[in-house]
Structure 1
């Protein structure tokens, strides 16, 4: 593919110089990644990916994200029954890259499912980039397998489907469910405190706060960041009486990790994990997971104090 791109660039230059164009007059923007990505996005037959995964994606820009929530599990923590949108929403996302596609994802698994799924992923040519917890004390315990790959998107989708098939992850699209209950929280106040606009999803109020500076992987900018797991994610699940369970992950550079830990702990929010999700992103990032159950507005103020320790984008 790089040879093809080099040949294309050389051919354009040859024609340009033959017609009297100078290097100063050539529009070099035609060689930039957005141009190449856009062209390649149109070449990919995404219907084959949809068919392999058995579902339709949420599309953001040129990223297609497929959800695999663990709706089959009943997971409780500190007396809270966790909704899939709070902490059990497995996913994979595809982005055109170098003429093919990159895939990355975060799959929710039981302990007994980790190695069978991992083996099938490896057999399918995909990479395992992390395996770890996001929560503590949950029953049953859940683990999170981060995966990645680069190649033909339909082939990778088939490998992901085959791997998930050895777990109990629901692979058939569920029948149309009743609308989720309204989020019983003062969401306007939450937006004001957090300095961002949240969105209701599956009975959970969610914030996605991108980092100020771009994140790249294999020379490709990870945009839009939220569907690729490169934005700070904060979730509120109402528990009644203005209280909420909160969890999610902060996306941090190394110098931000301990200031954020201190800010969260000073506000009564537990830190449940600090680890990597990817292997070769730039800049190097760390993902910090948290948990608390308390007054929602109080918790929002603590989360805002932690956000202030990060180089996150301002609304």
Structure 2
């Protein structure tokens, strides 16, 4: 185990202790700016976002005491890539994340999984609602049917208005209502060896084994600090495909200096590069996102992914 992996294990333990010591409360209108510049989001509870949940017709959960994140998995889609039927948790997980800042300003960001037929209607609905479309790309190399991923960004003092606009966007797609969470259950992989390779313990959700890593430096956009739950993280997913193998997908959120090192590490691990792009218009530092794919022995792939993560200044997201 190298130094970066050891540091990630220590950071994970610290994150658990910190999470246990911190709670959520009401709004903190005096939230200070971060050391690197930018307003920090204020603390909120699920009650603060009831209007958003009602407008969307879907409930989310507060993450890190500040971000209200609504999962919008495309469980309605039957997508195949290189012979693998892709589960929603591997690569088809739309989401919307909301945060509140001093002065009553709200920020919404997210990613929508849409079919090629839905895409023009989604773009028009975003424009009509005054929601910025900030990226459009694919997460899979080969896919049937053709699927696109589009990112959005909106600000304003009326979070319900933003949510109503987003609901109109969702209505232009076949995105189903939120489903009740199911028991994680076993994933049929050597998770202990995978955890060791990635330097932290993963989580099981909907048959997918997942990891999330957050940047050690502060990420801002439009003068506001973006907590990890807004979607500015490295996310790694494993979907078992039998015989100890797994399909892997997700994305690395990288600063410019990390990009080539991560690409080199992934290719050395036999992992394909799908896309390299930005998700936001004015984040600081500028983040580049790299989507990847492979279907092979899960532990072997985990080692390659672990080496790529070692080339980032990140820690496990608590």
Equivalences for residues 1-315 of structure 1 within 5 A: 32-33=32-33, 37-38=41-42, 41=44, 45-60=48-63, 61-98=65-102, 99-151=104-156, 152-170=158-176, 172-174=177-179, 176=180, 179=183, 181-223=185-227, 225=228, 227-313=229-315
- Equivalent-residue separation in structure 1 for 2:215 and 2:97 (angstroms): 19
- Equivalent-residue separation in structure 1 for 2:93 and 2:272 (angstroms): 21
Is the contact between residue 69 and residue 96 of structure 2 (CA under 8 Å) also seen in structure 1? yes
How many angstroms does 1:179 deviate by? 4.0
SS at structure 1 position matched to 2:289: strand
TM-score using structure 2 length: 0.83
Is the contact between residue 37 and residue 96 of structure 1 (CA under 8 Å) also seen in structure 2? yes
Cα deviation digits, residues 51-72 of structure 1 (max 9, x gap): 0111110211210111111111
Decide which structure has greater helix share.
1
- Aligned counterpart, 2:14: none
Cα deviation digits, residues 255-308 of structure 1 (max 9, x gap): 211111111111110000000001111100100000000000000010111112
Aligned CA distance change for structure 1 residues 219 and 43 (closer, same or farther; 3 Å): farther
**Structure number with larger C-alpha Rg:** 1
Is the contact between residue 44 and residue 100 of structure 1 (CA under 8 Å) also seen in structure 2? no
Is the contact between residue 46 and residue 62 of structure 2 (CA under 8 Å) also seen in structure 1? no
Deviates more, 1:87-96 or 1:194-203: 194-203
SS at structure 1 position matched to 2:314: coil
Q: What residue ranges of structure 1 are gaps of 5+ in the alignment?
A: 1-28
SS at structure 2 position matched to 1:149: strand
- Equivalent-residue separation in structure 1 for 2:74 and 2:153 (angstroms): 20
Is the contact between residue 260 and residue 307 of structure 1 (CA under 8 Å) also seen in structure 2? yes
- Equivalent-residue separation in structure 1 for 2:78 and 2:46 (angstroms): 41
- Aligned counterpart, 1:21: none
CA-based RMSD: 2.2
Is the contact between residue 74 and residue 88 of structure 2 (CA under 8 Å) also seen in structure 1? yes
- Equivalent-residue separation in structure 2 for 1:55 and 1:267 (angstroms): 39
Is the contact between residue 196 and residue 209 of structure 1 (CA under 8 Å) also seen in structure 2? no
TM-score using structure 1 length: 0.84
How many angstroms does 1:309 deviate by? 1.5
Is the contact between residue 75 and residue 82 of structure 1 (CA under 8 Å) also seen in structure 2? yes
Q: With CA pairs under 8 Å and 6+ residues apart, which has the higher RCO, 1 or 2?
A: 2
